Amino acid sequence: MKAFVVDKYSKKGVLRLADMPEPSLQDNDVLVEIHAAGLNLLDSKIRTGEFKPILPYRPPFILGHDVAGRIVRAGSKVRKFKPGDEIYSRPRDGRIGTFAEYIAINEADVALKPKNLSMEEAASIPLVGLTAWQVMVNRANLKKGQKIFIQAGSGGVGTFAIQLAKHLGSTVAATAGAASTDLVKGLGADIVIDYRKDDFEKVLSGYDVVLNSQDSKTLEKSLRVLKPGGKLISISGPPDPAFAKEKRLNVVLRLVLRLLSRGIRTKAKRAGVSYSFLFMWAQGDELSKITSLIESGAIRPVMDRVFPFEATNEALAYVETGRAKGKVVVKVR
């Protein structure tokens, strides 16, 4: 099969289009004929080696974390799915590889594709949808009437997170450029702050939750918009000791992450709020709940561009510019 492969970790490297063996199927796996694959900044960070201490893939390996396609074969212990099912998924860490014609995925990571979405639209959802769900539902326990500040409202996570927060009954503030204001308001944001003109920490106060996806300077400023007891949840780091424990990292890495996050954890404690890092995980049951929200019309995909499979490197370069509004997808077949 054709696949885009990382031959070595490199900041300037490109993915190689290669002939690779078809994935082998384990008892709990489904073999998926890939129709479309979503792209994420995580793909770029893994290619450069930024996540190597946490996710030590051994080159050559196939990149890609979002997939929509059709099941062509099922393992002997698979019970929830059958050949012919149209599905979407964010395969679990250690078993990624959606920039390809086929992938084997554990059935626990799979959900039926929303009936009202195309393959390309469905491929844009899993990683950002699960990230938003796990931040708001699992970690923040966001409730009706609470206030949440979502950074980068026009990005992949932001466009999904705004819609989910509104569905949960929250008041939503978000940052976006002037050109994206109408998009972000159309998704349900109550307050949109032009990050090029205004400082959000001077405009917002008394928030229950902040979803941080930006740099360390923005992370620290986010403390000032939270009310006492509020929650600062970052998907861009720094990883904290709880994450290191959850991932069962070695003692050295645990110490490194403790030191890296000590500054923000200390400042959060002084401010009377909590800080935590979230690295989303594959979860088919949660993705099925997202399917229901999409089919009901509560959430819609926001896509910027669809590239042909052969242009996967160009698509990843576009994602890296940070200018995409919503998600970027490659059409495999």
Average pLDDT over residues 76-92: 98
3-class secondary structure, 45: helix
Average pLDDT over residues 54-62: 94
In the predicted structure, residue 96 carries a pLDDT above the cut 90: yes
Q: Would you identify the CATH topology of the domain 127-277?
A: Rossmann fold (3.40.50)
Of 247 and 288, which is predicted with more confidence?
A: 288
In the predicted structure, residue 13 carries a pLDDT above the cut 90: no
pTM for the full predicted model:
0.97
Q: Give me the chain's average pLDDT, please.
A: 97
**Strand blocks (E) in the chain:** 2-6, 16-19, 29-39, 61-62, 67-74, 86-89, 102-106, 110-112, 147-150, 171-176, 191-194, 207-212, 226-234, 274-277, 303-308, 327-331
> Which pLDDT does position 219 carry in this prediction?
97
The ranges assigned to domains in the chain are: 2-125+301-331, 127-277
Report cis status (omega within 30 of 0) of the bond before 60. yes
> Which pLDDT does position 194 carry in this prediction?
96
Average pLDDT over residues 271-293: 98
Task: Return the minimum-mean-pLDDT range out of 30-44, 104-118, 242-256, 260-274.
Answer: 242-256
In the predicted structure, residue 218 carries a pLDDT above the cut 90: yes
80-108: burial string, b at 16+ Cβ within 10 Å, e else: bbeeebbbbbbbbbeebbbbbbbbbbbbe
Average pLDDT over residues 79-100: 98
3-class secondary structure, 145: coil
> Which pLDDT does position 172 carry in this prediction?
98
Average pLDDT over residues 60-86: 98
In the predicted structure, residue 97 carries a pLDDT above the cut 90: yes
* Residue keyed to tokens 């998926």: 32
Residues in Cβ contact with 14 at an 8 Å cutoff, skipping those fewer than 6 apart: 313
> Which pLDDT does position 12 carry in this prediction?
86
> Which pLDDT does position 123 carry in this prediction?
98
> Which pLDDT does position 152 carry in this prediction?
96
In the predicted structure, residue 42 carries a pLDDT above the cut 90: yes
Q: What class has domain 2-125+301-331?
A: alpha beta
Residue 269: half-sphere exposure toward Cβ, Cα within 13 Å? 6
**Using 50, 70 and 90 to split pLDDT, how confident is the model at 66?**
very high
Task: Return the minimum-mean-pLDDT range out of 40-44, 88-92, 242-246.
Answer: 242-246
Give 137-159 pLDDT, tens digit per residue.
999 999 999 999 999 999 999 99
H-run or E-run covering 130: helix 126-133
- CA angle, 140 as apex, 136 and 144 as ends, to 5°? 70
Distance from C-alpha of 72 to C-alpha of 87, rounded to nearest angstrom: 11
**Using 50, 70 and 90 to split pLDDT, how confident is the model at 250?**
very high
In the predicted structure, residue 101 carries a pLDDT above the cut 90: yes
Helix, strand, coil distribution of the chain in percent, nearest 5: 35, 25, 40
**Strand blocks (E) in 213-302:** 226-234, 274-277
